[in-house]
Structures are given as structure tokens and as C-alpha cells.
A and B are shown apart, each in its own frame.
Chain A
């Protein structure tokens, strides 16, 4: 099995990822307006991958249900900040329940509220779902995503339904998103090395031995699921304030698979893996997109036919799994390469 989970506090394990993500945000984000937007989206995805790492990575239980927490976070943050006249009069929204129209607050309060409600929703659903394990848990979380998506997609009383909620205010300052991501790194790192986090990792490594040591699997999984729901909700909230619109379709299968693959490719057993996976997949995707559009990359034109980007990404994904099934980071946290330290 994977042997992740460094248990002792280490400065480089914590600050390495923070410095790398800050440096990348700083240098890439300043290059051009389009790259700045890409950086902002990537920070949102990273938040989601972190959320998945806390639960999926540490517990070993696959969850396809986190998209529903992101959806709810995004929905709440979007609805709380969209202009009142848009909610009241926009064509798509004229069936909206009237009590929802006057609710309005600023972006940051809305983000906090959305994350808290998502965490609450995760705790509520988790209290039932965490009794399951294995494939049953995977399918049950998928069923949760199915229910949430289906309700929000069709119910025009509570939201925009299949249409988009326009004019959601955006966070133009990338560094605010970066700050949130850095805070999340600290929280996740402290959780992973806490006794709770280590207990959770123990249940992943041996689901038989852990209860024999007096560990209550249900309890530790539920706590992690709730924390994970908080971060996933926050990621949805960030996403809606980068995209500027709320659309239910943004948080369904494609979103779920993309973020799960980022986690698995990077290496689900460590925080460093979550960051690596996000960076690698986003970078490859962006480079290939530029090749498709025949844009220069460092002055070099390398044209690939349109549509081949998706094929290459999918093939690379399978290739990484064949090469190293526990992900690029292989369960390790960030550390300065050894030849340098000696």
C-alpha cells in the first residue's frame, strides 16, 4: 500500500508547497491577462484537490460526492452576491422563490457562509454515508452527487436550474485566492500531522487493525469528511467568483473526474501530491491548448491538430498510472532534494 503521511512537523513540508504555489501564481499570473485567469481557475481547482486529499487521500475511500459540496458552495456564494435586480427580474430566474431574492451580502462573508453550509451538508450526509466503505461508499457518494445535480438542474424555484446565473461579482485580485489556498495548505497540513489525521491514515492502511487499536473509523472519517466538505464548498465559492456565473453543469462529472485525476496523478497520500497533480495537469492542459491554437511557447511554434489535446491528456493520465500507480509524489511530502542538503 501507499506509505504517506509524515507525522512530525517539518518546516519544509509545510512551507515548500506554499512557496512554490506563491511563486507560480506570481510569475505566471503576471504574464498575461489570459494566463492570470487560468491561474485563478487553477487555484480554485487546487482548493478542491486539497479537499479531496483530506478525505480520499487519507481515508482511502473514493468519493465522487464532493462535486455536490462544491456545487452548494458555489450556489450559495453566487446567490448571495448576484445583484438583487438580476435575481428578481432576469428572464431565467422569474420562477425563483421570492424569499431568496433580497438575500445579499459581500463576497467574503458569502464565501465563509457557503463553506460553512457545505461543511454542515457534508456532516449531515456523512453521518449516513460514513457507515459504508469500499465500493459501496464510492457508489453511495456518486448517488449523492446525482441527487444534488438532478435537483439543482431541474428546480427553478431555488436557483437558475439548467440556465446560468449571470453577473456574479468576481474577485479580480489573484492574491486573495492565493491567500485562501495558502491558509488551506496550513489547515490541511496541520490536520494531516495531527493525531486525528494519523488515525485516519491508520484506518486506510489497515481497516482491520485500526479498530483493534480502539480507533472509531466512523468518527474519524466523519470529521475528515466534514473538513473536506468545508474546503470543497470554499472551492466552489471561489470558482463562482472567478467564473462570474453560476452554472450547475460546471460541478458534475467532468469536474469530479478532473479533480480526482489531479489528486491521483499527483499522489493522493500527501499534500505535496495534491499540489503536484494540480500543477502538472493544469500546465500540460494549458501548453497543449496553446499548441492547438498555434500560439508560441517561449517563442517556439509547435502546432498540433485541433482536438488532439484531450487525447494526449487522457493518454498521459493512463501512462502515469502505469508508470507509478501511487502518483508522482509517491506518498512523500515536499522536501529539498537530498543531493542539495548533503
Chain B
């Protein structure tokens, strides 16, 4: 029971990190970056392929590589698509996502790569008669720390103020002196950093990395930011958390019927969207033409 609750919270925390990475970029440029999953994948590859180094070095290297790929995305593709409709940008990000998957397949091979990352962090501890997996506790701690750090960054710093202003109304923010290209670049770097942490948590639980590693979590995080409310970062984080908790809860409650947990998850999503089309944290109606 305790383990189920911990699992639900840790999955919620994980998805909320992924959703935040998507939400940051969406906020500043109305881009649903489907290729965010490929940032998670490259981070996972880097972690698995650098296990010979100390963990901290490996993690720093991962963040560096992932942020670099995020920057390449922005400079090579998205910068040339400014002013294009969000629907086209979404489809372009599908294309980019496919390109990167194929490049990974070409570079690392279609067969999965695997290695034990941080062996001390996988396993079970016994506590007051309960056995609890270390990874779920670690995930919760890590998610809380990162969310607090992000919260500080977004609420208390000048960069955060600009990000929030741009999410609320990009055009007005530009008029008030926010440098749009610099802000977008910063958002991409931050989403790369978040993707690295998501990958770190994922590889501890499942160290078998293939070219499609980040796809599933991206789809669910995407669902999360929409039901949370796309116009705010808080909504994105909340929505991701809700999706994670619902999915984990369904897996526990449905027992043998757990193959249908996605059906119930998506039905819940449909109901939330029909009741609140702008998401749970939306204020009033806002037309978004995607």
C-alpha cells in the first residue's frame, strides 16, 4: 500500500518534470516540441555509455550533451520556423523527432544499449516492516528538489519573470523589452537540463535504452500539459503530476485489467478536456489556433 502510494507520487513527479520541460518551450514560442523525447533519449544514451566515469561527471556530461542537442534543434530548425503556425511547428517537431530516432538508430544501433547506472540506487530498503524501493524515494526527492529549484528560478529571478511574461503574452513581453531569441535559447537549454534529470531517473528504473526510449513519456507529458493548462508553467507541472498519479493508480487498482489502464487514462483526459477545454488551471476561455 505504502509502496503503491510512493510509486504513484514518484511517477507523478517524473512526469511533472517531463511536462515542465515541454511547457517551458511551449510557453515562449507556442511550440509543442515533440522531439523533447529525443532529448530524453540522448541523455539516457549518454548516461548508459559513460558508466565508467564517476556518477557526478557522467551526469554533468549528460546535461552538457543534452543541452547541446537542444540548442542544435533550436538553431538548425526552429529558428527558421518563427512566425509559422503552431500546427506546422508541431508537425515539424514530429519530423525532427523521427530524424533524431533514425540518427540514434544509425549511431548506436537498433539493439538496445544497457548498463547499470548507479547500482547503489536500485534496490529495496526495509523500513518499519515495509520494503520500499530506493528508486521511488529517490525520484520523489529529486523531483521535489528540481521542482523547487525551477520554482525559485521562475518566480524569483529575472529570467523567470521574462519566461512567465512571455508565456502569458509573448508579443507584449517583446514590446516591453524581453529579448525573444535569447529567451527562447534559454528555454531550450533549461528543457535540455530537465530532460537529463528525467533520463537519469528513468535509467535507474530501466537501463535498457533504445532509439524510442523517450517517446512514451513525452506523449504522456504532452497530455499532462494540456489537461493542466497550457498557458502556465504551474499548470504544466500539475498536469504532468496528475497523469503520472492516475496512471500509477490505475495500474495498481485494475489488477489483471491493467492492460486497459491507458483506456481509462485517456477517457479521464477526454472528460477533463470537455469540462475544462483550456485545462485545469485556465482562467476563462482563450482561443488557441493550433
* A interface, CB within 8 angstroms of B: 1, 60, 62, 128, 131-140, 142-144, 146-147, 150-151, 154, 207-208, 257, 260-261, 264, 307-308, 310-311, 314-315, 317-318, 321-322, 325-326
Contacts and interface: CB of A to CB of B under 8 A. Distances in A.
B270 A143 contact: yes
B266 to A, nearest CB: 4
Contacts of A1: 85
B142 interface: no
Given A207-B287, A257-B94, A318-B77, 18 more contacts: A62-B90, A131-B274, A133-B287, A135-B230, A136-B226, A139-B223, A139-B226, A139-B227, A144-B266, A146-B266, A147-B266, A150-B262, A150-B266, A261-B91, A310-B105, A322-B80, A322-B92, A325-B81
B86 interface: yes
Interface in B173-201: none
Contact of B260 (A133, A151, A207): A151
- A contact face: mostly helix, strand, loop, or mixed: helix
Give the interface size bracket for B toward A: 35 or more
Interface string B83-105: 01111101110111011001101
B120 to A, nearest CB: 37
B106 A311 contact: yes
Contacts of A137: 290
Contacts of B56: none
Contact of B91 (A135, A147, A260, A315): A260
Nearest to B83: A325
B222 interface: yes
Contacts of A307: 102, 105-106
Contact of B269 (A143, A150, A154): A143
Given A135-B32, A325-B84, A317 B277 contact: no
Contacts of A143: 223, 266-267, 269-270, 273
Contacts of A325: 81, 84-85, 88
Contacts of A208: 287
Contact of A150 (B84, B102, B263, B270): B263
A199 B242 CA distance: 39
Contacts of A132: 273-274, 277
B289 A264 contact: no
